[in-house]
Structure formats: C-alpha cells, structure tokens
C-alpha cells in the first residue's frame, strides 16, 4: 500500500482502529490535511541550511518542495512524524495481521523522523502501482528484498505491514539523506528533480535538514577538537581539523578565519593555530565550501594566563547565555551570566551573520542579566521563521569575551 501505516486510511482503513493494540489511530498525512484545508504547506524554493521542522502532531508545519517548473503538479510534502509525541497519534503500527488469526500481532512502535510524501496531483487516483498520486518515500524499504525473513511471518505475505521505519532520520543508518543518489531517490516519475535533502537530524520535537536545488550542501561531519570551547597555554601551537562531506561529490575548499580574518584557504582540512599571550579569546572558524554552498563551525579559543606562582591562574572571564522557550513564538527570554564587571553588548544575528536586533549595550556588574527578544528586527518588522544566534560580548580587564546561543523562531 503506498501510504502504509502513515495515514488514517492506510491499509484501506485498518489504521483507524490500531486493532489489537490501543485506540491511537494513525495521523492524517500531510496531503490529506492539505486537501481538507487544515494546513497550508510552506514552499521551499531556495537552497537553505538547518531548516527547522517541528513535529506535525502538535504543529501545523508542512513543507512543499517543487522543482518541475511552472505548471507542474508533482512535488514532495515533508513533515515530522514523532511517535514519541505527547499526542495520541502515530505510536504503533496498524496490526494488519490481527485480522488473520494464523498471523502474529505486530504491535510495533513506529520509527520517528521526517516523512516524505511524493505527490502527483495529475494522476487523480492511487491505483497505478508504478505511478501513484500519493505515496510515502519509504526510507527503510528495499524493493529487491521486501522481506528479510527475520520478522513476523505475516510480512512475507504483506511486506509493507510493518513499514514502521519509513521516515528519514540520522538515527537510522543510510536514512539521513534524500537525493538523486539514494534509495529511494528524489527523482520525479519522469526524470531528475535536482533536489538534494541532506544532513537530516535525529528525530525529536524539532528536526532540521539542509536542502539544495541542483546542488548539495557540504556538511562538516567531524572535527577536532570535539569541544568548541578550547583552552590553550600562551604560545601553544595546536592543530585544528574538520572533515566535510559533499554528497554530489563537488570538490571542497576549506577556509580558515581568525576573528573574521581569512588566514588560510585550500584543500587542506587542518589549520595550525598559535595561541597569543594577551589572554584575549579568539574565534576560529572553518568554512567548507563547494564554491556555491557552504557549512561552517567555530571554536572559541581561550588562553590560560599563568601568574608564575605554582597552582594559581588568572581566570579569563566570559559570558554565558541561556534561552527559553526555545523554539519560541513570538518572544524568547534570555539570561546572560557575566563573571566580572565590564561593558556588555547583546545582539541577535541571522544565519548569514547579519545583525537583526541589538538588545543591550551597557556597563554590567557580575551576575545574571535578563533580556527579552520579541522576534522583531531593529526596523520593527517581524523577523521570519528560522534559526538565529544571540551573541553576548563582555569586556573586562582580561580582554573582551564572547558567547553564542542558537535560538529557533517558529511563526
């Protein structure tokens, strides 16, 4: 069945009852909600990183991905199906075998993650098995081996029966991407779509993913040191490294920046950093780019200044940020901890680094300082949904320090 356990009328209605388990029917799929007017899918038409995807069980958030040109009726709908949700839906499979007494009950918990529906409204019905109108892109199903012989016997007769791992997520091997090269792939029924959905996060109340049109985002998959806050001794030389993967195999260039100034660029994924002696922190950023799209991460490097007396050090004080609720709409509360007196600046930036709002610029005494961002830019315009960064700069006699916190605005 093209919808399996992932829509209320999947398996011709067995999902209504969750027979043999409990009364928690399958959630309506994104296409059904769209047809009923319950959701208005948000179009994704430009390449983006870290797109937030809250669970659809409790949030009316669905993305629509097209690429077939004007007038095309073929597209993908993307939703976050969280079987661990507080809602009453989507916890267990439909137990189709319960209607056949010689088969065993399934009672399997569904796998949480990103569900991708392949839609072609030009078809008009779902009777063509090689070209459905609405079908789940089954991340865990290999048509060549529909039954591996290891699960309940009923799956040999009904190989879709416990397709509970259809969603994509980083928790399942090989299911963190949906591209022209994966199985299943992101092609249209009649040819390539050029759609690359990569770096799909693990399941949760809010997932994230990258999407590229005609190009895949490079993704930094490992880095050393693993901790992004690093303490070095004065004049210490330390080798930093990062490894990126580009799923469409474009050559990757690594750019290394110290406090925003380019220091090294090329194919080398490592950088030798020499710590200073002043005690000031340094933001070391690596950018992995294919010439069009890029991924990045930043280490904050502190220098441990010895006083010359054994067992004693001069602390390098810096701010710390906490945010709640996160994700938020429309207001988020921020708590900035400052270790020593000095100038304090608190600002909000979008993912491109552009400052969208300044929340504070003042002298601050040691302690916790509270601020609120109302989700509006400095111009008064409401900021769009997306990922933002709160930056706190605290100046003291040991040099200026900075801290970053990621927040997610969901309209």
Measured CA to CA, the distance from residue 32 to residue 370 in angstroms comes to 44
User: Which residues touch 173 (CB under 8 Å, ≥6 apart)?
Assistant: none
User: Which residues touch 402 (CB under 8 Å, ≥6 apart)?
Assistant: 281, 283, 300, 318, 319, 391, 392, 393, 394
Beta bridge partners of 25: none
Q: What is the DSSP letter of 384?
A: P
- CATH 2.60.40.10 fits domain 218-303: yes
Q: What does pLDDT average to over the chain? A: 79
Measured CA to CA, the distance from residue 237 to residue 195 in angstroms comes to 42
Query: In the chain, which segments carry CATH 2.60.40.10?
Result: 218-303
Whether the predicted pLDDT of 125 surpasses 50: yes
In this prediction, residues 361-384 reach a mean pLDDT of 89
In this prediction, residues 239-250 reach a mean pLDDT of 89
Q: Which residue has the higher pLDDT, 277 or 287?
A: 287
Mean pLDDT is lowest, of 23-37, 58-72, 160-174, for: 160-174
What is the structure's pLDDT at 215? 86
Prediction pTM value: 0.62
Nearest of 59, 186, 188, 44 to residue 121 by alpha carbon: 188
Structure confidence at residue 340 as a pLDDT band (50, 70, 90): confident
Query: In the chain, which segments carry CATH 2.60.40.4070?
Result: 320-409
DSSP element (H, E) containing 157: helix 154-157
CB count in 10 Å sphere of residue 42 = 13
What is the structure's pLDDT at 197? 94
What is the structure's pLDDT at 95? 47
Contact between 44 and 37 (Cβ < 8 Å): no
Structure confidence at residue 374 as a pLDDT band (50, 70, 90): very high
Helix (H, G, I), strand (E, B) or coil at 75: strand
Tens digit of each residue's pLDDT (9 = 90 or more) over 310-322: 333 333 345 778 8
Structure confidence at residue 264 as a pLDDT band (50, 70, 90): very high
Enter the CATH code of domain 320-409. 2.60.40.4070
DSSP element (H, E) containing 360: strand 355-364
Beta bridge partners of 324: 333
Indicate the length of the chain as a whole number: 411
Q: Which residue has the higher pLDDT, 72 or 29?
A: 29
Q: What is the DSSP letter of 96?
A: G
Whether the predicted pLDDT of 274 surpasses 70: yes
Phi-psi region of 202 (alpha: psi -120 to 50; beta: other; left: phi over 0): beta
């Amino acid at each position: 069945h093209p919808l399996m356990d992932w829509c209320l009328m999947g398996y011709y209605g067995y999902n209504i009852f969750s027979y043999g388990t409990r009364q928690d029917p399958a959630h309506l799929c994104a296409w059904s909600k769209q047809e009923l007017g319950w959701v208005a899918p948000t179009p994704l038409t430009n390449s983006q990183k870290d797109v937030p995807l809250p669970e659809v069980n409790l949030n009316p958030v669905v993305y629509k991905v097209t690429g077939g040109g004007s007038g095309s009726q073929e597209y993908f709908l993307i939703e976050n199906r969280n079987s661990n949700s507080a809602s009453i839906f989507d916890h267990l499979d439909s137990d189709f075998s319960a209607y056949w007494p010689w088969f065993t009950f399934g009672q399997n918990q569904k796998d949480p993650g990103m569900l991708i529906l392949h839609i072609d409204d030009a078809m008009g019905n779902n009777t063509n098995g090689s070209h459905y109108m609405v079908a789940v892109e089954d991340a865990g199903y290999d048509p060549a081996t529909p039954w591996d012989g290891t699960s309940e016997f009923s799956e040999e007769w009904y190989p879709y029966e416990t397709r509970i791992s259809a969603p994509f997520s980083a928790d399942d091997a090989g299911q963190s991407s949906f591209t022209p090269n994966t199985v299943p792939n992101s092609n249209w029924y009649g040819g390539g779509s050029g759609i690359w959905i990569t770096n799909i996060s693990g399941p949760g109340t809010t997932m994230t993913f990258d999407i590229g049109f005609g190009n895949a985002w490079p993704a930094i998959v490992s880095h050393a040191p693993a901790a992004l806050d690093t303490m070095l001794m004065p004049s210490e030389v330390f080798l930093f490294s990062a490894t990126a993967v580009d799923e469409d195999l474009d050559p990757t260039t690594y750019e290394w920046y110290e406090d925003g100034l380019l220091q090294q660029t090329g194919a080398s994924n490592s950088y030798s950093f020499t710590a200073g002696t002043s005690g000031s922190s340094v933001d070391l950023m690596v950018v992995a780019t294919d010439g069009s799209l890029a991924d990045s991460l930043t280490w904050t490097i502190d220098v441990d200044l010895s006083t010359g007396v054994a067992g004693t050090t001069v602390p390098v004080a810096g701010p710390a940020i906490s945010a709640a609720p996160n994700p938020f709409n429309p207001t988020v509360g921020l708590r900035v901890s400052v270790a020593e007196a000095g100038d304090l600046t608190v600002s909000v930036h979008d993912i491109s680094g552009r400052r969208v709002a300044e929340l504070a610029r003042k002298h601050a005494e040691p302690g916790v300082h509270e601020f609120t961002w109302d989700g509006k830019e400095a111009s008064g315009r409401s900021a769009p949904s997306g990922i933002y960064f709160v930056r706190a700069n605290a100046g003291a006699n040991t040099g200026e320090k900075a801290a970053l916190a990621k927040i997610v605005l969901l309209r």
